[in-house]
Amino acid sequence: MTSALVDAGVTRVAVGWEVDPSEVPSAFRWARRALDLVRRGVVPDAQVVDCREHRTQIWLHAEPTLRQQLGQELLRPLFAETPNSREILSETLLVWLETRDSAPAIAARLGVHPQTVRYRWKRINELFGEAMHDTEFLVQLTMLLKASVPLWKAGDQSDFERFRAEDAS
């Protein structure tokens, strides 16, 4: 980072990719969103945040309210689980959605035994049933979990608080 920025008290900057001059307002919005995602623990902290490396998260967090509303709808069965169960099932489901790997491969990635993955997979199928065969549902679920799991891991519990509030009413 240049010394002028450091002297001005700037500790982190976001750098975007080249855009047409007419797209500069969008690029500025993306850079601000990237910095917000760093603050929220979704994007790794760095002095220089390369927006190109985090385009998917920037895009998936473009409409936070829509993400949260879709989560309340699609993840209802998962939200009803205990916090520990919700965490391990969502991580397992996301790895499967991203890779479509076997239980042993998913287990290796998660650092658990393959039988643990099989048990989790059985529970995921109990929760979501026939929806797990719906391509559109799986696409939405993938994007939703890619946006949500990093938030949850960073400590954001607002999705679950909203679920409990709606469930209580």
Are 75 and 136 contained in the same domain? yes
* Whether the predicted pLDDT of 2 surpasses 60: no
Cβ atoms of residues 5 and 13 within 8 Å: yes
Residue 86: per-residue pLDDT: 93
Which region holds residue 115: left if phi is over 0, alpha if psi is between -120 and 50, else beta?
alpha
CA distances from 163 to 66, 75, 140 (A): 14, 10, 19
pLDDT higher than 70, residue 5: no
Same domain, 144 and 85: yes
Count of Cβ atoms closer than 10 Å to residue 111 Cβ: 7
Residue 154: CB partners within 8 Å, gap ≥ 6? 40, 41, 42
Nearest to 50 by CA among 1, 11, 16: 16
Average pLDDT over residues 3-27: 84
> Of the candidates 168, 165, 144, 149, which has an alpha carbon nearest to the alpha carbon of residue 68?
144
**Cβ-contact 124, 89 below 8 angstroms:** yes
Task: Note whether 43 and 94 are same-domain residues.
Answer: no
Residue 115 sits in a domain whose CATH number is 1.10.10
Residue 82 DSSP one-character state: -
Tens of pLDDT, residues 127-165: 999 999 999 999 999 999 999 999 999 999 889 888 888
C-alpha closest to that of 144 among 83, 85, 57: 57
Query: pTM above 0.85?
Result: no
Tally of domains within the chain: 2
* pLDDT (tens digit per residue) in 96-108: 999 999 999 999 9
Whether residues 8 and 20 fall in one domain: yes
Q: Give the domain extent around 103.
A: 64-168
54 and 132 share one domain: no
Residues 24, 89, single domain; the answer is no
Whether residue 82 is found in the same domain as residue 52: no
**Cα–Cα distance, 40 to 61 (Å, whole number):** 11
